[in-house]
Every structure is written in C-alpha cells, then in structure tokens.
Amino acid sequence: MKHALPLMLWSLVLLSFSLSLPTELFAQSAVKLRAGAATSNITPPLGELIVGGFTPLPADEVHDELHAKSIVLDDGKTKLVFVLCDNVGIPREVYDAAKKQIEESTGIPMANQLMAATHTHSATSARSANSMVHAPNLNEYQRFLVSRIVDCVRIANKRLEPAKIGWGSVQEPTQLFNRRWYVVEEADRRNPFGGVDQVRMNPGASGLIRPAGPIDPQVSFVSVQSTDGRPIAVLANYSLHYVGGVPGRTISADYFAVFANHLAKLLDVNDSEKPFVGILSNGTSGDVNNINFQNRGKRYESFQKMQEVGELIATRVHASMKDVSYKETMTLAAKTEELTLKIRKPDTALLAYVNQVLTKPKDEKPYHVHERTYAERVLQLAESPEDVNVVIQTFRIGSLGIAAIPFEVFTEIGLEIKEKSPFKSTFTIELANGSYGYLPTPSQHELGGYETWLGTNKVEKEASVKIVSKVLELFHQSTLNAMRNP
C-alpha cells in the first residue's frame, strides 16, 4: 500500500469532485419532504429587567409580544429544528435543557436542533451571572423559556405535512453601516483600562476618518410551502444588529417582529388553522448597526425606524420569492461539535489598574465613563475557568449551508465563511446555541474598541480563526457524506 494516497488527500480529491457535481445530487431523497412551523409567546411579566444597555430597567409596557418561533424539516431520514427567540442572548444551559426535552418527547437528536436569539435589546434577560460558567440551576424566566421553546417545537413537529422548499437572496445595503470608526480625537478613543484605542464604536458626527470594517448586504432566506403552494414558513437572515428606538422600559421584539408581520401581510396568509411563521435571524452583525454616522438624517419617533427597516426587508424578500425554485425532495444533514476555547484573562498590570479604579472615590472624574463596569467584568473573568466549550453547528439543506455560531460575530467572519463554503449558498446565524459575547477577528483586536474590550469579548483572540476552521470542516464533512449517501 506504499503508493496509496493519504486519507486527507483522498478527502480533498472527493471534495473537489463533489463541487463539480450538479445541485440535483443534494436533492435526492427516498421520501418527500415534510415541514411544520409554530410560535409560542415568551413575553416576560412586567417588572422584569430589560437588558441591552449598561443600566437594566424594569419593564412597564409591552409594545409587541416576544416569541419563540420554530421550523421542523423532515426528509424521511433526518429531522432538522430551527428555533429563534426574541431575546438579546440566551445561555447554552437554557438551550441544552430545551433540546434535551425535545429529544425525549419527539426523538429529534439534540445535535439536529439549532436555537438562537434574535438580539432584540428590548427583552428581559435570560442570561446567567457569568456566561463563562455553566449554571445548571435555571431561574424562573429561564425555566419558562425552556418550556415555551419545547412547546413550540412539539407543535411544529405535530404539524408536519408534505412540503416543498427553496431559497434565495437579495441585496439590501441601505440599512447597514459598520459602527467601528477610525476617528481623529484621542479623547474619543479612550478605553476603560486607561489606554487609547485606534477605533471607536458609535462615534459622534465629527472627526470621522473611515469605518474599520465591511458590511454584508445580502438578505438570505429559506421559503417553505405546502405542496399546493400555501406558505408555511420563511427563515430569513440579515447581518444587522437590532434597530432600537424603543423606550427604555418597553418590551419589543424590534425589527425582527416587524419583518415577520409585514411578510405575512404581503403573502396574504389568513389560514388560522395552520398559521404562517415568519422568522428573521441575525446574521454576522457584531460590528454593524443602522446608524449612518456621516449623515444621520431625520429624527425618528419611537418604533418608527424599526418599522421602516422591518417592512423594507420583508418587501425585498417577498419580491425575491417569485424567483425561488422549489423542490419536494431534499436531503437534510446536521453536524455539531464542541470547540474548546481559552477564556481571556487579565495580566498583573490590568488587575492592578482595575482594583485602583474600584477604590476611587465615586465622585472623582473617571478616565472613562464605563471604567467601573469593566473593572468588575475583568475581575469576573479573572475568577472564571481557564477555558469554555462552545457548540459549533452546521446544517445542510440540499446545496444550502447554514452555520451557527454562539457569539456576536463580526461581519468579515461571515463573509469569509460564505467565500470559502463548499455550498452554492451559505449564511450564518449568530448567537446560536449559546451567548458568549463578541467575536472579533485577530486584526480587529489590534484596533481595540468596545467589541474587543476584556469583558465584552471573553475568549482568546484567535477564537474566530478556530471557529471558521471548524465551520468549514463541518461543511466539508456534509458534502462528502452527500456523495457517499445520495
């Protein structure tokens, strides 16, 4: 066997061959596709703290209800579950508890369940005290959230019916702006650790030089219909942070809910027995928001901007749906692995600095407005474990690849995954299967700024490199499996 090619080389040969094969290879299935979708209300009671800013406030109003929304797909061999929850970020232990109950009640493996948060900043916290520490004893709202996620998936699974599926994308760059900027004034680039960064998040109108990163204008979407053409669900993906414009004590699902409601209106879906489920997931938007820093334009009333953005994205998706090619047979696959990442730790000098900050008189003028907050975060990380295990997941629907990453992911990471993916179409859902803070690239770490600060970012600076490598590895495994088991 001394002339045999190494296993890795054979894998590359097979992969190269697979990429030359027609899309139809990925659509072969002995059984026609079935699909079901459902929603459940996850709105917390008034009085619960709304997170999203540095000062949580108790809710005293509900503008629109929060929901968990699910889609279940079944190709006769494999079932996939998608769940999106209106929340800023949900810890892994909540998702794991829900997944376990779903597996026990439906038989769908935990590894085949993708759960994520939409990242609205106007919802009650589902977080634990320290995202780097597993907290199996869930609080009251977390337990409620688990039960509602489970209900949502069980109902969707019960509603499975013969279906057809297709996907597409459309460009919508007008609502996206990289929020990290090179700015002139040093005072604008101060960080809470006594230093000065190269860039600033959300700068003022003056002293702007250029943004520090790209945007991803692609709106990706998956459309699921009954075999007679009745819309069952749409799962869309857009790399835009929350829009906001919500009063501080008001609960809202932000533009994610506006998208779903407006798309249902455009589709003229009125079947109450089998309601349509519209879902907008958050793409790789860790450094992108909806503020045009060079031209802030008109002032908006409360809720007005999120209404405008949500309706625009829904309108663009609806117009693109006419070009979708649907198939009634489609091979599904899921790949899930844990990845161990080092937790960032402060050095001796930083520990000395933050302890000095915490001993300052509170009436003394701070070097940075949030220095006390970050001093406490640094100390928490110093007391955290050395590493953390995170879930990296990929789904395959025919020739479509979907990645799931449990961070607020910088846009250039999502663009890299799209560029290097073996699939014709690819998108990434962030804050999936956990919530561990921001995920900048190593080069963005060098620039500093809010998203890179110790306490906002909590894992090793090379984490994005390792995560992208793992995502692509899982994608490639799916393509090889498709060849072996068409």
pLDDT digits (tens, 9 = 90+) for 151-206: 999 999 999 999 999 999 999 999 999 999 999 999 999 999 999 999 999 999 99
Q: Give the mean model confidence (pLDDT) for residues 59-63.
A: 96
What is the rounded distance in angstroms from the CA atom of residue 486 to the CA atom of residue 479? 10
Report residue 190: phi and psi, to 5°. -65, 145
pTM: 0.93
Q: Looking at residue 9, what DSSP letter applies?
A: H
pLDDT digits (tens, 9 = 90+) for 350-379: 999 999 999 999 899 999 999 999 999 999
- Strands 231-238, 277-282: pairing is parallel
Q: Give the mean model confidence (pLDDT) for residues 296-317.
A: 96
Q: Is 117 helix (H, G, I), strand (E, B) or coil?
A: strand
Contact 199, 183 (CB under 8 A): yes
What is the rounded distance in angstroms from the CA atom of residue 50 to the CA atom of residue 370? 19
Contact 265, 277 (CB under 8 A): no
pLDDT digits (tens, 9 = 90+) for 420-434: 999 999 999 999 999
Does the pLDDT at position 21 exceed 90? no
Low-confidence winner among 227-241, 258-272, 315-329, 343-357 (lowest mean pLDDT): 258-272
Q: Is 352 helix (H, G, I), strand (E, B) or coil?
A: helix
Does the pLDDT at position 20 exceed 70? no
Does the pLDDT at position 486 exceed 60? no
Q: Which residues contact 57 (CB under 8 A, 6 or more apart)?
A: 49, 50, 248, 249
What is the rounded distance in angstroms from the CA atom of residue 285 to the CA atom of residue 291? 13
Q: Determine the pLDDT at residue 30.
A: 55
What residue ranges do the domains of the chain occupy? 31-343+384-484, 348-379
The angle formed by the CA atoms of residues 37, 43 and 48, to the nearest 5 degrees, is 155
Q: Give the mean model confidence (pLDDT) for residues 391-417.
A: 98
Contact 232, 35 (CB under 8 A): yes
Does the pLDDT at position 13 exceed 80? no
Q: Determine the pLDDT at residue 418.
A: 98
Q: Which residues contact 221 (CB under 8 A, 6 or more apart)?
A: 167, 168, 169, 234, 235, 236, 237, 317, 320, 321
What is the rounded distance in angstroms from the CA atom of residue 482 to the CA atom of residue 288? 35
pLDDT digits (tens, 9 = 90+) for 81-127: 999 999 999 999 999 999 999 999 999 999 999 999 999 999 988 98
Q: Greatest CA separation found in the chain?
A: 77
